[in-house]
Amino acid sequence: MIPTLLTIAALAWGSSVGEVSGDIREGENYIAEAAIELTCGADTVRGKTDKSGSFRLTTKASGKCSLSVIHKGNTASIDVVVFDKPSKYRLVLELKDGVYILKRV
């Protein structure tokens, strides 16, 4: 019985999942249905913002990752940190010299 419980605990501990959530806007307008991508090493997770510009992505990786958004044919990225506990990011896209930049608010 105890070896079984130890095996289950080891599997649960080794399969931790990191979560990143938040919202993305441009100026005062939230960006709906934008393609987003979270890349942590070799692990890449894709998704979309919802109608209110919110997103939630989960990955089995952790540490320093890159979050990218595709908007109006342009891609902008920002570094984020993924832990075993959820992280929340409020992000804004700014257009500078014809190039989108993704920044934390």
Walk me through the domains of the chain, giving residue ranges and CATH numbers: 16-104 (2.60.40.10)
Mean pLDDT of all residues in 84-92:
95
10 Å Cβ neighbour count for 37? 16
pLDDT per position as a tens digit, 8-36: 443 444 456 899 999 999 999 999 999 99
10 Å Cβ neighbour count for 11? 9
pLDDT per position as a tens digit, 61-86: 999 999 999 999 999 999 999 988 99
CA dihedral 73, 79, 82, 87 (to 10 degrees): -80
Could you give the angle at the alpha carbon of 82 between the alpha carbons of 86 and 65, nearest 5°? 145
